[in-house]
């Protein structure tokens, strides 16, 4: 919801659904309400049960409304980076005249020209990110409005995603009784909050460790350039514990949170804790080292998969290094384990605002910051900027009769001169081919102007003149 300087973000995660209400005051974004509800109807970050997810969204929104004391009608929603496709597009238009300043209408027109692409039916355009405008050959322009030019060009990044994922998100929001004012890619939301401007420009890898998936995204030159999703996340660690220790997933999740560690060598095999197992009345004792071995095996597999994918595109030596966030990053030892794969330039990001100091809120808080920081050019690209277009001039007759008559007379005289230029032998051909066509053209004019006084009489005289002329 955007109500003056109030922003509401919605992060639909596999494990939990987060709603954050933020208020912008003097350029500072402050959190005034948070809702967190256990997710339902999702698998690996994708909605698979619309009704269950919509109900969980309603509960999370209700929590945020009570804490922030606001009524939430609209939300900015995070979109997962599953199967994203990013391509560079180019658009070009002609500005009306050399003396006309480039306006928001021209910017919107060149953006629409760049969006005109052949998109597969199973995909949908998520957003278009303007990179630079070119005015009459002068490049590197961020905002061309107010400049004088004849030709306006745009280079931008066009991002498309699976239509099914986007459709399900919209259905859930609509079924929850809300409206969407922005669709924000989750990597872009994280980058807005977790990265500095230098890290965005020089290149940084963002690793988001969620419950249903782990994604690696590359930010370079201020734009999202690449995103990869590994369909393994914190839930896989929980399932491994559940299967190996023969315990329920609820019990496995509790063990992971209370006793889990990502590096087994840093734990002790003399520290025990009870585990309730299926088919046994009494709990069994499991040591901390054994639990860490289960967790470490899965975490190493996740990091190795990311390493292989990033190595394929030579993204392991970017100046900004690696920023890790998300719920999976809260597990002790994860950062130390990640440094074994990606080097020492690895850091953990945790939001600093009161009430959301946990990596699970990075995306939801980042969405609020992203929406609050959108400039006019990006709002035009997203279609959320109010553009004042000039009223379309009517093509119907609007001038008074005394101004229309000379135009009609000039039209008739030109036809008369054309008729007189015909030679005698070709007169019959001219009469046969043009007389009927001319009356077909003049007849609607007579009907439209029937009953308009002198002008109608004038047209009748023209028709009589041509009848006598052809005779």
SS3 of 312-367: the string is: HCCCCCCCCCEEEECHHHHCCCHHHHHHHHHCCCEEECCCCCCCCCCHHHHHHHHH
Domain boundary among 121, 147, 163: 163
* pLDDT tens, position by position, 225-273: 999 999 999 999 999 999 999 999 999 999 999 999 999 999 988 888 9
Last residue of a domain, one of 148, 163, 178: 163
Residues 238 and 306 in one domain: yes
Does one domain contain both 236 and 336?
Answer: yes
- Token output for 315: 């993204």
Model pLDDT for residues 412-465, shown as the tens digit of each residue: 344 434 433 443 343 334 333 333 343 334 344 434 444 445 555 655 665 565
Give yes or no: residues 201 and 95 share one domain: no
pLDDT band at 390 (very low <50, low <70, confident <90, very high): low
Question: 119 and 253 share a domain?
Answer: no
Residue 237 sits in the same domain as residue 157? no
Residues 155 and 206 both lie in one domain? no
Domain span at residue 432? 407-470
Contacts of residue 281, defined as CB under 8 A and 6 or more positions apart, other chains included, come to none
How many domains is the chain built from?
A: 3
The CA distance from 427 to 375, in Å, is: 68
Single residue among 327, 349, 371 that ends a domain in this structure = 349
Same domain, 213 and 314: yes
pTM above 0.85, yes or no: no
CATH number at residue 237: 3.30.420.40
Q: For residue 130, what is the domain's CATH number? A: 3.30.1490.110
């Amino acid at each position: 919801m955007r109500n003056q300087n109030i922003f509401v973000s919605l992060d639909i995660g596999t494990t939990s659904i987060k709603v954050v209400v933020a208020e912008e005051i003097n350029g500072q974004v402050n959190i005034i309400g948070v809702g967190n509800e256990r997710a339902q109807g999702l698998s690996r970050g994708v909605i698979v049960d619309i009704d269950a997810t919509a109900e969980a969204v309603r509960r999370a929104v209700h929590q945020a409304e009570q804490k922030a004391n606001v009524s939430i009608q609209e939300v900015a929603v995070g979109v997962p980076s599953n199967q994203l496709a990013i391509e560079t597009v180019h658009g070009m238009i002609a500005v009306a005249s050399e003396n006309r300043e480039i306006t928001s209408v021209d910017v919107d027109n060149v953006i629409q020209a760049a969006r005109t692409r052949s998109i597969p039916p199973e995909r949908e355009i998520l957003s278009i990110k303007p990179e630079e405008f070119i005015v009459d050959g002068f490049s590197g322009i961020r905002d061309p409005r107010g400049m004088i030019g004849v030709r306006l060009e745009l280079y931008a990044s066009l991002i498309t995603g699976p239509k099914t994922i986007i459709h399900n998100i919209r259905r859930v929001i609509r079924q929850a009784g809300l409206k969407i004012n922005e669709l924000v890619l989750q990597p872009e939301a994280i980058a807005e909050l977790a990265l500095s401007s230098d890290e965005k420009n020089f290149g940084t890898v963002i690793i988001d460790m969620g419950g249903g998936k782990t994604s690696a995204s590359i930010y370079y030159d201020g734009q999202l350039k690449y995103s990869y999703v590994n369909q393994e996340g914190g839930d896989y660690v929980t399932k491994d514990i559940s299967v190996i220790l023969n315990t329920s997933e609820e019990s496995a999740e509790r063990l992971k949170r209370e006793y889990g560690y990502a590096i087994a060598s840093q734990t002790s095999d003399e520290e025990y804790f009870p585990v309730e197992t299926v088919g046994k009345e009494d709990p069994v004792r499991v040591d901390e080292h054994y639990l860490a071995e289960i967790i470490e095996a899965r975490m190493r597999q996740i990091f190795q998969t990311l390493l292989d994918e990033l190595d394929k595109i030579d993204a392991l030596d970017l100046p900004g290094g690696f920023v890790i966030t998300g719920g999976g990053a809260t597990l002790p030892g994860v950062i130390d384990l990640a440094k074994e794969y990606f080097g020492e330039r690895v850091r953990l990001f945790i939001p600093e605002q009161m009430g959301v100091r946990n990596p699970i809120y990075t995306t939801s808080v980042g969405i609020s910051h992203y929406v609050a920081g959108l400039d006019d050019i990006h709002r035009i690209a997203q279609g959320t900027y109010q553009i004042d277009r000039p009223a379309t001039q009517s093509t119907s007759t609007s001038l008074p009769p005394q101004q229309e008559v000379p135009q009609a007379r000039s039209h008739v005289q030109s036809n008369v001169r054309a008729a007189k230029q015909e030679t005698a032998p070709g007169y019959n051909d001219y009469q046969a081919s043009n007389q009927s066509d001319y009356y077909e053209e003049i007849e609607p004019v007579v009907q439209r102007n029937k009953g308009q006084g002198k002008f109608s009489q004038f047209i009748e005289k023209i028709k009589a003149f041509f009848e006598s002329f052809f005779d």
